[in-house]
Structure formats: C-alpha cells, structure tokens
Amino acid sequence: MTSRYIAEYEKTADLLPGQSLAWLKTLRAEAFNCFSDQGFPSLREEEWRYTNVSAIEKKLFAPSLDLSEAVFDQALLTENQLEGALTIVLINGRFSKQHSSLEGLDKDILVLSMADALEQKPELLERYLSKAVSNEEHSFVAFNTAWFSDGLFVHIPAKKVVDQPIQLLHVVTETECLASTRNVLIAEEMAEVNVIETFVGVDDNYLTASVTEVFVEKNASLSLYKVQSEGEKAYHFGGTYVKQARDSRFNHHNFAFGGLLARNDVHTDLDIASECDLNGLYLGNKRQHIDNHTRINHLKPHAISNELYKGVLNQRARGVFQGMVYVAEDAQKTDSAMNNRNLLLSNDAEADTKPQLEIYADDVKCAHGVTVGQLDEKSIFYLQARCIDEETARNMLTFAFANEMVDKVKLKVLKVILLKNLLQVFPQSGIDSEWL
C-alpha cells in the first residue's frame, strides 16, 4: 500500500527544500528507505495498538505542488493568530511570507521558515536536525524527514529572554493535501522563550505530519503550546521530541480538539536536575480518535517530571493515552508523577489508557494514576437544586474539569482563544468568554 506514497515521493522529491545540501539529501534518502521498509505502523505494534492508521494508507495524500497563493477563508488566520506574537504562517506546508508577521523581531534571535533557514544557516541545522529524534523512532518520523516541505526554525542565543511569543500557524486549505513540516527550536544557555504551534484547516480530508525538535540548553527555559484544532475530517500526526540539558526547564501544553484521527507524541530526555511539565487536554466528539503518547526519560539524577493529561470523550469518540516514565539505572533522586483523567460522557465513547513505569534506580519517587469515570451525580443534583437545568449543569462541570488545563496556560492571548474553544463545546447560558 505504501508503494503509492513511494511513487509520489519520487515525483516530488526534487521540489523539497535543501536538496542542494549533501548531508540533508543523505538524511532524506535514509529516512525514505526507512519508511519504505517499514510502511505505516500497524496495530500489532505495541505503541500503536489502539490507533489504526490504515485509512491514511488507503488514501493518498500528496504535497501541494501549486505554489501560488491559496484562496481560503481568512477567518482561519484572523481567529487563530495571536495578538502581539511573531508569527510564521505555513499554508499547505509551505511558508507564506504575505501572511506572516515578524514585526519587532530582535536581530539577535532567529525566527525563520525552515526553507529559509536551510539556505541561510545550513551549518546550524546540520548540527541539530534529526538529532532529537531518529528515523527509527517510528515510520511517521521517517515519513516526515523524507517529505518535509517547510517548517519553523527558532534560535534564541544565550541569556536572551524573549517576551514576545513566537507562533507557528499551520493552515491546510486543500483537499487530499499532505502538509509535512519540520520544526527545530533551540534555546541556548539561560535563554527563555514561549512558542505556540497552532494547527487549523478546512473541513475536509487532509494529512498533517509535523515533527518538532526542541533543544533546551543549560538552565534555559522553553514553553511550548500546541493547539490542534484541525478540521473534522483531518488526519493529524504530531511529534515533539525534546533534549533537555542540565538544569533546564521544559513546559508543554497540548490541546487536542480537532481532527478525525489525531496522534500526538511527546518525548523528552532529562539531564541532571532538569524539569519537565507535560500537560494535555483532549476533547473528543463525533467519531474522533485522539491518541496521546508521552515518554519521559529520566537519564540522569535529580530530575523532576510532572504530567497531567485530561480527556473528555463524547458521542462515538475514542481517547487513547499511553504514557511512559523511564528511570535509568543512574537516575537516582528522580521525582516523577504522571496522571491521566478521563470523562466518558456517552455510551459509545471509549477511553484506553496505559500509564507505564519502567524503573531501574531505587532512590526514586515515582507515582502514576489513572481514572475513567463520569460526572458526579451529586454535583449535578446540587446544581439542579439551585435552578440550573441539567444540561447546563453537566456543561458547567465538564467545563470545570477541562478548564484546569487551560488555567495552566500563562499567555493571556492564548488563554482567551482556548476558552472560546471550550465554551463552544460546553455552552453555558449566562457565561460569556468576555468575562474570563
């Protein structure tokens, strides 16, 4: 089945950026071989046992060859663009200069599209590209490495604190389109930065395959927000792979709202005394399938990790959570907590969860917890006794459950967008996003 993708690749390979760079050409060739050997992941693989990607295999998503400006509903941009942020807009997987805004960009920091970065800073990319994740990770990563057409490149020099958030706005406007993008984010020693990835698209079939590599150097701090609001029929694969140096901090906020089939991987490697926070919220509706995978590797002592993923599953939606905390032999004094909470709101919804611990050191504190359940009838009754109709009561409680994750977002502009999203799903008469 993958043969169609292979044939398609041969057609479009020359159009990919950076083909003049020998090292990248080799890298892409290796990735392509890796993908053609393995094909798409199957349900037999432990990491994919709950997620069937054969639909992607049966269809053929091809990169958009039309380089002229796409025509689409501008609301996709205006509603999702963050005020005051440096924005790189990718349309159908390619950089759109016209829509991007890099006003007020400090000359020390680099915010470029991947294609531009490959031209301007090839030596920097050679050092970082494909270093946080290898093609063997799984075939979607190989697929991405072979096909990526553009992306976001951010480099923050040492001791630089960037106040302006940096946004990657990923828009897909074409049917049957493949938007494969690769992002590299680097925060040098003691730097600080906030990056937001927003994924939106038209209400039609398309495939987003996005891989983000993050390097957080010594004592640096990087917060990454991902808002996945793809169209209802979209397929989404997103992977975030992080390398943390000692004393570094990494915060990830993962909001998965859209897509027919959405899969998200977050992997982080922790060095001495580094910290990571992984937060996630997934809201499933209709026939959505949302799969979240996280892996925290405690490779060195004294690192701290916190993880909380919450899911609300309605109608025929299916939510999957597979989390792994790995503590290596020498990673003494590790402190790790992982939590996954699921609300099942309908008879046809399903939650599959698998929080895992693999521990090879003894002086550690590791805990994990999972719950799957429904709203507390007593709380609903309490609200009903106070003249709130049942539907609103349920919405209020579900909203409160989900809002915990939104509350963790420190960027005000982003928070407002997220709350609007939430209120749309759980409408409560009398509550307006303006108040929040």
Partner 1 sequence: MSSSAKEVENLIAQEYTQGFVTDIEVETFPPGLDEEVIAKLSKIKNEPEFMLEYRLKAFRHWQTMKDPDWAQLNIEPIDYQAISYYSAPKKDSDKPQSLDEVDPELLDTYKKLGIPLDEQERLAGVAVDAVFDSVSVATTFKGKLKDAGVIFCPISEALQEYPELVKQYLGTVVPEGDNFFAALNAAVFTDGSFVYIPKGVRCPMELSTYFRINAANTGQFERTLIIADEDSHVSYLEGCTAPMRDENQLHAAVVELVAMKNAEIKYSTVQNWYPGDENGVGGIYNFVTKRAECRGDNAKVSWTQVETGSAITWKYPSCVLLGDNSVGEFYSVALTNNYQQADTGTKMIHIGKNTKSTIISKGISAGKAQNTYRGLVKVGKGAENARNYTQCDSLLVGDRCGAHTFPYVEVKTPSAQVEHEATTSKISEDQLFFCQQRGLSAEDAVSMIVNGFCKEVFKELPMEFAVEAQALLGISLEGSVG
List residues near partner 1 by CB under 8 A. 46, 329, 332, 342, 344-374
Query: At which residue do the structure tokens 């002229």 appear?
Result: 68
Smaller CB separation from partner 1, 2 or 332: 332
Closest contact distance (angstroms) between CB of 288 and partner 1 is 15
CA distance 189 to 417: 31
Q: What is the closest distance, in whole angstroms, from the C-beta atom of residue 256 to partner 1 in the complex?
A: 19
Cα–Cα distance measured from residue 21 to residue 121, given in angstroms and rounded to the nearest whole number: 11
Which CB, 263 or 298, lies closer to partner 1?
298
Based on CB atoms, which residue is closest to partner 1, 366 or 436? 366
Spatial CA neighbour of 196 closest among 76, 104, 88: 88
What tokens were used for 278?
Answer: 């992984």
Q: At closest approach, how far in Å is the CB of 91 from partner 1?
A: 39
CA distance 2 to 39: 6
Q: Which long-range contacts (CB under 8 A, 24 or more apart) does 50-53 make?
A: 50/291, 50/318, 50/320, 50/322, 50/352, 51/261, 51/263, 51/289, 51/291, 51/320, 53/261, 53/263
The HSE-up count of residue 405 (CA atoms within 13 Å, CB side) is 33
Backbone angles phi, psi at 282, to 5 degrees: -125, 130
Return the residue matching tokens 């915060």.
251
Residue closer to partner 1, measured from CB, 117 or 351: 351
CA angle 77, 93, 405 (to 5 degrees): 55
Alpha-carbon gap, residue 290 to 40, rounded angstroms: 18
Q: Which is nearer to partner 1, 368 or 415 (CB)?
A: 368
Distance CA 324, CA 294 (A): 6
Distance CA 239, CA 436 (A): 31
How far apart are CB 284 and partner 1 at their closest, in Å? 13
Q: By C-beta, is 18 or 284 nearer to partner 1? A: 284
**C-alpha to C-alpha distance for 167 and 165, rounded to whole angstroms:** 6
Q: Which distant-in-sequence residues (6+ apart) come within 8 Å of 67 by Cβ? A: 94
Which residue, 238 or 355, is less far from partner 1 as judged by CB? 355
- Of the pair 37, 45, the CB lying nearest partner 1 is at 45
